[in-house]
Amino acid sequence: MDVKERTFQKQPTIFLNKKSQAVKTRERAERYTRNVGLGFKTPKDAVEGTYIDKKCPFTGNVSIRGRILTGVVIKNKMTRTIVIRRDYLHYVRKYNRFEKRHKNISAHCSPCFRDVQIGDIVTVGECRPLSKTVRFNVLKVSSAKGAKKQFSKF
């Protein structure tokens, strides 16, 4: 486990100082996980992993409510944060045509999604503000199917 924080990392919902001998004989520690609902399954890495992330929707203290969006990953250089691009068409009445537009959305990417690459299609859910620009949390990752920055409707 590569922990970058200097403090002791623990899940606030798990009590670590039990006095019974049953805990010491077990090889695996308890882990708090939950189902976010809306038909999204909890990833295997969230249940069996050892990471601590308070902003993770599966193991942390974040509830998913509001909008569910999909987009393409265009940047993943931040720690536990990705930028997704959402392409859409805007109708211009004067010319009776559509124009291409896009929006970039910052989303928190939990460590249970380890292999997120540029070009992957991700599904994000709205949550409370996690930072200045992050209001969404990654719920599902689909593998890439095409080019990096090409306009496409899902």
Question: 62-78: per-residue pLDDT in tens?
Answer: 999 999 999 999 999 99
Question: 12-29: per-residue pLDDT in tens?
Answer: 777 777 777 654 555 667
**pTM (2 d.p.):** 0.81
Q: How distant is the alpha carbon of residue 76 from its chain centre?
A: 12
- pLDDT above 60 for 36: yes
Is residue 82 within 8 A of residue 76, CB to CB? The reply is yes
Label residue 10 by pLDDT band (50, 70, 90). Answer: confident
- pLDDT above 90 for 1: no
| Strands 81-92 and 121-126, bridge-based pairing | unpaired
Question: 107-118: per-residue pLDDT in tens?
Answer: 999 999 988 999
Q: How many CB atoms lie within 10 A of CB 71?
A: 23
How far is the C-alpha of 9 from the C-alpha of 46, rounded, in Å?
A: 16
DSSP string, 9-70: P--TTS-----STHHHH-SS---------TTPPPPHHHHH-----TT-TTTSS----S-EEE
- Residue 15 burial class via C-beta count within 10 angstroms: exposed 0-12, middle 13-18, buried 19 and up: exposed
* DSSP strands (E only) in 79-120: 81-92, 97-108
Phi first, then psi: what are they for 153, rounded to 5°? -90, 145
